Amino acid sequence: MSCEHCGLPVAAARRGGPAPWFCCFGCRFAHQLAAPSAVPDAQQVSPASTLLLRLGLGIFLALNIMVASWLSYSQEIFGDSARAQGVDVVLPAVFSTLALFLCTLLLVMLGVPLLADVFRSPASPGGRGIRTLWTLLPRLNAQTLIVIGVFAAYLLSAIHTLRGSGSLYYDTAAMVLVIVTFGSYLEAGAKRQAATAAGTLLASLPQQARVRRHGSVDEVAISAVRPGDQVQVRPGEILPVDGEVVSGSSSLDEASLTGESTPRSVKPGDTVLAGTLSLDGQLWLCAKKVGDSTVLALMERSLTAARSQRPPSQRLADRLAAAFVPAVVVVAALAFGWHVWRGDPAVGLLTGLSVLLISCPCALGLAAPLACWHGLRRAAEHGILIDSAATLERAAALDHVDFDKTGTLTRPEPMLETTATIAGLSQHQAIAWAASLESASSHPIARALLEAATKRGISPQPPEVSTVVPGFGVEGLVEGRQLRLGSKRWAETLGLDETVLSGDSVLSRDSVLSRDSAPDSEASLDNAILLMDEDHVLARFELREALRPEAASAVAELGQLGVGVGILSGDRKGPTQHIAAKLGVPAEAGLLPSDKVRQLTTRRQPGGCCAMVGDGINDAPVLAAADIGIAVGTASDLAARSGNVRLLNNRLGRIPILLRIARDVRRQIRANLLWAFAFNTIGIGLALVGWLTPVLAAAAMVLSSLMVVRISSRAGRIAPSAATQQTEPRSPSTPLHLAAGATSARLVG
């Protein structure tokens, strides 16, 4: 459960009944101040205007109590010379009675809600009803210390007023109560601001959309848009739906969604996401996902779910606070008893009260949740969704990362690496013919050849006649010549000369992607595509998986962070070792999912943490078995992916970002805890020696909590690195539209 006001997780002691839930008195008070007056009486504790008036009157009464206490202080400071004479002898009694009356009003307005929070039943978090004897016992928490101190000062002052002698502490009780209440209100506001610093993601979406229906364009509410509707987006507007570009082109600013700083050019056929900004062109979209189904809505739900979980380090702080509060009560009682034994109960009361107030463990309760929330939010700003604060803390201890190869370290589609032709045939011509044959196909091999043609400035012409031969390839009439493009098995079936495959001297070889690396025979022969005519094999095209551009820098940065890197792949040994050699990491090939799980188990070190990076669908078992499963992929299929961490894009450079954010959050949590313990330790010492008054202690306690909020706001801030700055080139879409009747499921080899 999470707090109704600030959204941070609620301690277990406050759970057990119906909503609303509040993590502290300040959040309950602030929530009531902000509650709309339209809420039915059964659900509304008090109108916001009444609560605000109570706080304002409390401040007014505290100031008047200080004025009414001046006579008492003057007598203590100046002694008998300030004692009232004659008719003025009644003034001390009048002013002390006035202070008693005003302080009583103040306690009713501000002290009783605080007292009720101490005795509030864990089984009724909304504060409705006390049902068992257990609920009559106060809970030892931060509010308990404040209540003990404030009401002790009030009761002792009331006794002295009725007796007509003794020191009065109405001003101390009043100012402490006002400072604590107002400070709790400020703290609750700071927590809410911290927890909602990213803003409501869906609030950035437009409330209206222009939809084309039945031949006309109408502006409708965003809730009325349905999947399949065609939506118009003008330059400078935010996309209201997830969809596919039907017509038009533009540059999209996706920084708010995926963390990409470079705008992406989109054209018909490209997938786009709600929440991104169209910079310079008009688009018509076919809506695919709307409302709560969009990736933007998924991000918001993921962040909300992650925020509501208490991080492991906070559970440790809770246990420490649970032992700390009783210890502080004992120390305050001993300090009071010591001074009473020495014959100075007034000093004992102030000392005990100062100890109670300065040691209020509010900062301990804020140390971990706020830092974790800022880390989760900043990770989301980089396109990294983390399922919980516990995962974020585990990531800080990450010492080994294993990658799947296909589709993770490499592009999902093959790339043309080398071209071999017979004597008399130029590579330019061979690629032009092959691209022409493939111009009507969306098969991955076709896209690889078409992309190679585009890089060479070739504009392939559609074949005059084209036929797909299932299991072999494609044949057609190109420039009046009957050509075939397919596998080695097809050439063998046709009885054509295969010398082009043997590396004879008649071949001319050209590396399209990597001139300085010779392909290994296993990968090359299995991925060889042959161009043939009716009598000869004319050319061979060797395809290979290509590393993602940021893979090498990401692996290098992981090494700099002290993280071991390996590859666990189900692919053959040759291609896997080729990729591993380029990255300089060990690799295991030919693994089944169960084999990958066993490999992860052997790599896990005591006290360490291992992660698996995969595409999230085929690698679901091993992602679930890892301490941290990181699913990479496009944001459009994010909902179908598994893993503790989800990347909204394929940028492997986001993984070092995840580690650096997690480690910075851990560093800030430790700084928070160190500050909280140091502050309480030093503060208790100052209070015991009499150097800290109760009012100063209360103010210092509030400032301590706000300091923790300030420190937490810096959690997750990281400097850019090579892996974070490198931008992956965007592969162009197929240059030609798919021809009617062409199949995209053709098998080659």
More confident residue, 472 or 747: 472
Which residues partner with 212 through β-bridges? 217, 230
Catalytic residue among 229, 402, 404, 615: 404
What mean pLDDT comes out for the span 146-153?
A: 80
State which of 63-67, 365-369, 587-591, 653-657 shows the largest mean pLDDT: 653-657
What string of DSSP letters covers 275-306? T-EE-S--EEEEEEE-GGGSHHHHHHHHHHHH
Integer CA distances (angstroms), 204 to 281, 475, 730, in order: 20, 51, 27
Q: How many Cα neighbours within 13 Å face the side chain of 230?
A: 14
Which position has the higher pLDDT, 654 or 124?
A: 654
Q: What is the pLDDT of residue 425?
A: 85
**pLDDT reading at 732 higher than 70:** no
Helix (DSSP H) and strand (DSSP E) numbers for the chain: 24, 23
Query: Does the pLDDT value for residue 558 go beyond 90?
Result: yes
Listed range (139-148, 462-471, 478-487, 503-512) with the worst mean pLDDT: 503-512
Q: Which range is least confidently modeled, 266-270, 522-526, 530-534, 694-698?
A: 522-526
* pLDDT tens by residue, 276-320: 888 888 899 998 888 777 777 777 777 666 666 667 776 666 677
Q: Which pLDDT tens digit goes with each residue over 518-542?
A: 344 344 434 678 899 888 888 888 8
**Given CA atoms 533, 536, 539, 545 in this order, what sign does their dihedral have?**
positive
* Class of residue 294 by CB neighbours under 10 A (exposed 0-12, middle 13-18, buried 19+): buried
pLDDT for the residue 409: 87
Cβ count near 518 (within 10 Å): 11
Separation in Å, CA 203 to CA 227, 453, 506: 20, 44, 65
Task: Give the range among 18-22, 79-83, 478-482 with minimum mean pLDDT.
Answer: 79-83
* Residue 37 vs residue 653, higher pLDDT: 653
Is the separation of the CB atoms in 419 and 541 below 8 Å? yes
pLDDT at 101: 92
- Of 239-243, 369-373, 718-722, the poorest mean pLDDT is in 718-722
Domains and CATH numbers, the chain: 12-195 (no CATH), 202-303 (2.70.150.10), 384-410+548-648 (3.40.50.1000), 415-544 (3.40.1110.10)
pLDDT band at 514 (very low <50, low <70, confident <90, very high): very low
Predicted confidence band of residue 438 (pLDDT cuts 50, 70, 90)? confident
Asked which of 27-36, 526-535, 629-638 is least confident by mean pLDDT, the reply is 27-36
Give the Cα separation of 533 and 490 in Å (integer): 12
Grade residue 37 by pLDDT with cuts at 50, 70 and 90.
very low
Residue 424 pLDDT more than 60? yes
Return the percent helix, strand and coil in the chain, to nearest 5. 50, 15, 35
pLDDT at 642: 63
For the stretch 319-357, pLDDT in tens is 777 777 788 888 988 998 999 898 888 788 888 888 888
User: Minimum mean pLDDT among 17-26, 591-600, 615-624: which range?
Assistant: 17-26
Q: pTM above 0.75?
A: no
- In this predicted model, which residue has the larger pLDDT, 279 or 142? 279
Give dist(CA 44, CA 672) in Å, integer. Answer: 35
d(C-alpha 668, C-alpha 389), whole Å: 14
Least confident of 104-113, 180-189, 429-438, 618-627: 180-189
| Better-scored residue on pLDDT, 512 or 276 | 276
404 included as an active-site residue: yes
pLDDT, average across residues 507-522:
36
Spatial CB neighbours of 496, under 8 Å, sequence gap ≥ 6: 532, 535, 536, 537
Beta carbons of 478 and 436 less than 8 angstroms apart:
yes
Instruction: Give the tens place of pLDDT for each residue, 40-80.
Output: 333 334 444 456 677 788 888 888 888 887 776 655 555 55
Q: What's the confidence (pLDDT) of residue 500?
A: 52
In sequence order, the β-bridge partners of residue 209 are: 220
**In the chain, pLDDT over 70 holds for what percent of residues?**
71
**Rounded CA separation 606/173 (Å):** 53
Model confidence at 512, in pLDDT bands (50, 70, 90)?
A: very low
- At 184-242, the pLDDT tens digits run 777 666 666 655 554 555 566 778 888 988 778 888 888 888 888 889 998 888 888 88
Residue 202 has what pLDDT? 59
Per-chain mean pLDDT for the chain: 75
Listing DSSP states for 315-333 in one string gives HHHHHHHHHHHHHHHHHHH
Is the pLDDT at 729 greater than 60? The verdict is no
